[in-house]
């Protein structure tokens, strides 16, 4: 059979290309291990639609803390240990600081949200705007705002005319609205309350992964500070969108994560009444006749440990926000392909039995020194993310949670609700899935601790002079 010159050349090219690809594939390290996959669709059939963080954590017990999944040609790498997340997302942050495309959230208008930005110039610009305002030193200025709104939270819980979740939402909305935009919510019918809750609902249920201040009447806020810094400059459309977007993400992230953590705190108290008892005993011993302030932080260590355990027991973003590999990489002899979606399983890391004793139990004393009867277990660093994508508002979130926890210990008793027959209702420990996660709906009974405390709350929750 005769072959033309072109045919021979084409066959030679195919042979050389095949040899090259085979040699390259042979030399490339293997992908991380993972569950058996189906042809074409990969792991689609076994991908959980709910409680992904717990399923991934169980798989990690078999396949290790770095797992590979594939769905319709997309590589997914699940990290289930702080060590792996730190070594990749922090020590190699130049390779892992990108984000995948978030089509759903872009469609909902969150394309100006720094949490979803791809890595690059605009991401760095937004981070700079937020970090300068949310540093640990700067957020000390927000303490009067947090303290007042914690008292307003106590007032709502003591009066108890609505479901407790409403007062928790109002507290977190009020703090972050005041800090981000300079507006203090002082009424249950404030026009921003339903708007904010609808926005938060949309953000949380998207699936698991213009005025002037020229008159000087605007309250001090993030938005006012940034606008003043740009005074006299010609603002581009991008500058305006960046201001709106960075203020918006400060608000959205600060509201939803703190409110979900406080609901988790209430759920934990219903299952561990001894925690409430000890928190109240600490308050009575140290303070007693007034409400707590940030000056009491060091004097209320148990409240601090409870706050830390809430953040560990169920992080508000259990799967974090996915990263994206910007280049091929090799880790522990395993190949991580460019474009792979990297999921830092914060919930799995916080349940790591190699780090935390009986990790599913709510135990604030796990953080105590061994000389004090604890295990000296580490703080839950995974809760706020890693590397260049770590949450810029983490200091504000932690202090928001602490002052609310300490105030609740001081002012009310939280017990299980009862059914029509007088039997206690023990809520299940089940959490919703989403970018942020909160306990599934449950009820409880909240009453003031004493008549004296009712008077203290009424006195200290008057309109702020901030």
Q: What angle do CA 71, 74, 79 make, to 5 degrees?
A: 85
By C-alpha distance, which of 60, 168, 127 is closest to 392?
127
Burial of 294 (0-12, 13-18, 19+ CB in 10 A): middle
By C-alpha distance, which of 98, 64, 102, 46 is closest to 348?
64
Q: Which long-range contacts (CB under 8 A, 24 or more apart) does 447-450 make?
A: 447/160, 447/412, 447/413, 448/158, 448/411, 448/412, 448/413, 449/280, 449/410, 449/411, 449/412, 449/413
Q: What angle do CA 156, 159, 163 make, to 5 degrees?
A: 65
To the question of whether residue 444 is assigned a binding role by annotation, the answer is no
By C-alpha distance, which of 319, 241, 287 is closest to 409?
287
Using DSSP, state whether 185 is helix, strand or coil. coil
When computed from its CA atoms, the radius of gyration of the chain, rounded to whole angstroms, is: 25
Using DSSP, state whether 135 is helix, strand or coil. coil
By C-alpha distance, which of 168, 242, 220, 196 is closest to 404?
168
Q: Determine the length of the chain.
A: 466
By C-alpha distance, which of 111, 109, 134 is closest to 122?
111
What does the DSSP assignment read for 249-284? Answer: HHHHHHHHHHHHHHHHHHHHHHH-HHHHHHHHHHHH
Q: Which two tokens stand for residue 306?
A: 């409870």
Bridge partners (DSSP) of residue 343 are 78
- End-to-end Cα distance, the chain: 93
CB atoms within 10 A of CB 51: 18
- Point out the annotated binding site: 391
- Point out the annotated binding site for heme: 391
């Amino acid at each position: 059979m005769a072959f033309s010159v072109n045919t021979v050349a084409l066959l030679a090219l195919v042979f050389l290309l095949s040899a090259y690809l085979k040699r390259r594939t042979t030399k490339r390290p293997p992908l991380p291990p993972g569950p058996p996959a189906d042809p074409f669709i990969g792991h689609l059939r076994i991908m959980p639609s709910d409680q992904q963080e717990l399923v991934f954590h169980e798989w990690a017990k078999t396949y290790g803390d770095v797992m590979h999944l594939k769905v319709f040609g997309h590589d997914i790498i699940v990290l289930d240990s702080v060590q792996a997340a730190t070594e990749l997302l922090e020590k190699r942050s130049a390779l892992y600081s990108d984000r995948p495309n978030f089509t759903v959230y872009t469609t909902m208008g969150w394309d100006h949200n720094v949490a979803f930005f791809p890595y690059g110039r605009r991401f760095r610009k937004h981070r700079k705007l937020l970090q300068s305002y949310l540093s640990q030193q700067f957020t000390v200025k927000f303490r009067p705002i947090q303290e007042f709104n914690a008292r307003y939270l106590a007032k709502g819980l003591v009066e108890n005319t609505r479901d407790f979740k409403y007062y928790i939402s109002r507290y977190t909305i009020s703090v972050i609205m005041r800090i981000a935009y300079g507006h203090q919510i002082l009424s249950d019918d404030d026009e921003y309350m339903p708007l904010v809750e609808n926005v938060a609902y949309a953000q949380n249920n998207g699936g698991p992964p213009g005025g002037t201040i020229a008159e000087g009447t605007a309250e001090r806020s993030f938005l006012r500070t940034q606008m003043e810094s740009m005074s006299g400059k010609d603002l581009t459309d991008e500058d305006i969108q960046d201001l709106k977007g960075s203020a918006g993400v400060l608000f959205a992230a600060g509201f939803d994560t703190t409110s979900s953590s406080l609901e988790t705190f209430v759920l934990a108290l219903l299952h561990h009444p001894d925690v409430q008892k000890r928190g109240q005993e600490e308050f009575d011993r140290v303070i007693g006749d007034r409400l707590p302030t940030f000056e009491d932080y060091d004097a209320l260590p148990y409240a601090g440990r409870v706050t830390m355990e809430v953040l560990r027991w169920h992080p508000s973003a259990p799967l974090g926000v996915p990263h994206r590999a910007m280049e091929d990489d090799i880790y522990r002899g395993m190949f991580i392909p460019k474009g792979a979606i990297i999921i830092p399983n914060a919930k799995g890391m916080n349940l790591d039995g190699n780090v935390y004793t009986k990790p599913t139990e709510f135990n604030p004393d796990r953080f105590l020194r061994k000389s004090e009867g604890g295990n000296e277990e580490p703080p839950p660093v995974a809760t706020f993310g890693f590397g260049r994508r770590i949450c810029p508002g983490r200091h504000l979130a932690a202090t928001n949670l602490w002052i609310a926890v300490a105030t609740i210990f001081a002012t009310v008793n939280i017990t299980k609700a009862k059914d029509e027959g007088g039997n206690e209702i023990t809520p299940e420990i089940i959490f919703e899935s989403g970018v942020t996660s909160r306990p599934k709906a449950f009820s409880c009974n909240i009453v003031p601790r004493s008549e004296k405390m009712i008077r203290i709350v009424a006195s200290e929750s008057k309109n702020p002079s901030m």
